[in-house]
Structure 1
Amino acid sequence: MTSPAVSSRALPHPERGEIRLEGVLHALSDPGRLRIVRELAAADGELSCSHFDLPVTKSTTTHHFRVLRALDDLFPGLLDTLLDAAARQAVRVGSG
Structure 2
Amino acid sequence: MPRPRAAGRTIAHPNLSAVSLQQVLDALVDPVRRAVVTQLGRAGEEISCGSFDVPVSVSTLTHHFNVLREAGVIRQYYVGTTKMNALRSEEMQERFPGLLSAVLAASGSDAQPTEA
Band of TM-score, shorter chain: 0.5 to 0.7
Question: Cα deviation per residue 1:35-79 (whole Å; 9 max; x = unaligned)?
Answer: 011111111532111101433343432232232325531324321
Higher helix share: 1
Shift of 1:32: 0.5
Match of 1:83 among 104, 107, 110: 104
- Kindly indicate whether the alpha-carbon contact (under 8 Å) linking 2:40 and 2:47 is maintained by their aligned counterparts in 1: yes
Residue 5 (structure 1) aligns with: none
Alpha-carbon RMSD across the aligned residues, in angstroms, is: 2.5
Unaligned runs of 5+ residues in structure 1 are: 1-8
- Kindly indicate whether the alpha-carbon contact (under 8 Å) linking 2:35 and 2:54 is maintained by their aligned counterparts in 1: no
Which structure has the greater CA radius of gyration? 2
What is the 5 A alignment of 1:1-96?
A: 9-66=9-66, 67=68, 68-69=73-74, 71-72=88-89, 73-74=91-92, 75-91=96-112, 93=114
Percent identity between the two aligned chains: 41
| CA–CA distance in structure 1, aligned partners of residues 59 and 18 of structure 2 | 22
DSSP 3-state at the match of 2:45 = coil
Unaligned runs of 5+ residues in structure 2 are: 1-8, 76-87
| CA–CA distance in structure 2, aligned partners of residues 50 and 76 of structure 1 | 30
Higher strand share: 2
User: What amino acid maps onto 2:52 in structure 1?
Assistant: F
